[in-house]
Structures are given as C-alpha cells and as structure tokens.
Amino acid sequence: MSFKLKMNHSAKKTDSNIVLNLDLPFDRSNSLLSRSIQILETVHPYICAVKINRQLVLPLGLFNGVQKLLGLAQDLELPTIMDCKINDVGHTNKIIAEYYYKAGFDAVTANPFIGWEQGLQPVFEVAQQMRRGVILLVYMSHKAAAEGYGQTIQNPKTGQLSPQYVAFAEKALSWNADGAVVGATYPEKIREVYKILGDKVPIYSPGVGVQGGDVEPTIKAGAHYLLVGRTITLSENPAETAKRIRDVAKRCLK
C-alpha cells in the first residue's frame, strides 16, 4: 500500500485528519520517552498519524528510544512521518532516507530547494522501492517563511516570474510527491496551492493553535491533514484537546 493510500485508510478508520506532532521540549530528567509514550497512548483514538522531529530523535536515538515509539505507533496502526526536512546532495539524501525508512518510518519530509537531479531524485527512488512516502515543504508555518518560500523567482527555462511556493507546488505535482506542507498560519497560500494540486497531492498544514493557525479556515482553504503539536502535547489534557480539534475539523469537512 502506498503512503497516500495508507494515510487515507487511516483517516477513514480513525475518522480523523489530525497528525500528532510528537515534538516535546528539551528535558534533562530523561522522561522524554515515557512522556511521549503516554501522550501517544492517550490521544491515539483522535489522530490518524504521528510525526516525529529531530528534537526527539537526537536525545532518544533512531534505533533506540525512537524504535519504541515507532513500535507503539505500528501497534496502534498509525502511519509515521519523520520530519527531517532532507536538504543535502543526492547521495547523502539517499542514505538519510534509507536510515529513516529502515528504522520504520512510513514517510519523510524534504526541502525542494535542492532540486531534482542529484538532489531529491534519489530520495524519491528509494521511497518508491521501499513503498514509502516523501512530503515536500511548500510553505512553512513560521513568521519568516516569506523570506524564502515567498520570494519571487524566475523560471530559468521560460523566464516567467512566480512566487517560490508556487514553483514548489508545481514540483510536488510533477514529482508525484505524497504530500505538500503549507502552514495553517497562511490559509491564502493553502488556497493557492490547492488550486495547483487539487486532491492529487494532499496538503499537510502545521501551525494550528500555538502558532496562530485556525482549524476552519485551514480546512476550507484545502488542507487535507492538520499537523498539531504543542497545542496538544503541552495541554493539561492532551486527549481532550486532541478530541476537540478532531471534532472541529470533522464539522468543517462536512
């Protein structure tokens, strides 16, 4: 089963389009793993997938503590995404992707800035061989996103001017990416990107809650999945918060 189909199947099964960003803050007490497991076990009825960033991989270890999280996610039948933002030369990118896929992740994120040939092509090839996914960063959720993703560029072949994120959305479509990240803090960008991608490449939107993104405009602009982290993980009742966000999203999807 392809990653797109796996996500679609999970969303239908769980009746949720919420991806949990399991990105906890620095902790000297060595409780990161136990806290992460507790949160995942508590909120899993209300999410359709789990995303992990390097801030957990670095302290826990890819083939140590992270394996326990991936094993738990697998037991709960939840797809897993490694938010590694691959952004190097091709041979290095290939090895990075192979490590994460062999560790058990179903998909990785990657930065289209580096291009295709000797850039992300090896990642897509490995993903296809291993039946895994690649999600491209099209427009991130932070305030400075416009400095890179929003700049105006010139197509070297046609000379046409366009925003950088539009070019990235077009790459996501032509490269047959498994997803495109567009921040929930910029629903107008989601709307533009959705006009390019439609339902061929699903949009993943981070930034709901703490960063200022709202569920309703994000969904109505065309986002397929909401990536929610601190709003859930740092709340007093993660399960209750996850359920509330899931229910709001369900109402918006009707």
Catalytic residues: 85
In contact, 184 and 141? CB cutoff 8 Å: yes
Question: CB burial class (10 A; 0-12, 13-18, 19+) of residue 26?
Answer: exposed
- Structural tokens at position 242: 């996850």
In contact, 5 and 199? CB cutoff 8 Å: no
In contact, 183 and 143? CB cutoff 8 Å: no
In contact, 73 and 6? CB cutoff 8 Å: no
- Structural tokens at position 180: 């495109």
- Residue reference for tokens 């709001």: 248
Among 185, 233, 191, smallest CA distance to 205 is for 185
- Structural tokens at position 182: 């567009």
Cβ atoms within 10 Å, residue 164:
20
Which residues, including other chains, have CB under 8 Å from residue 209's CB and lie 6 or more apart? Answer: 228, 230, 231, 232, 245
Q: Report the run of H or E that residue 102 belongs to, with start and end.
A: helix 90-103
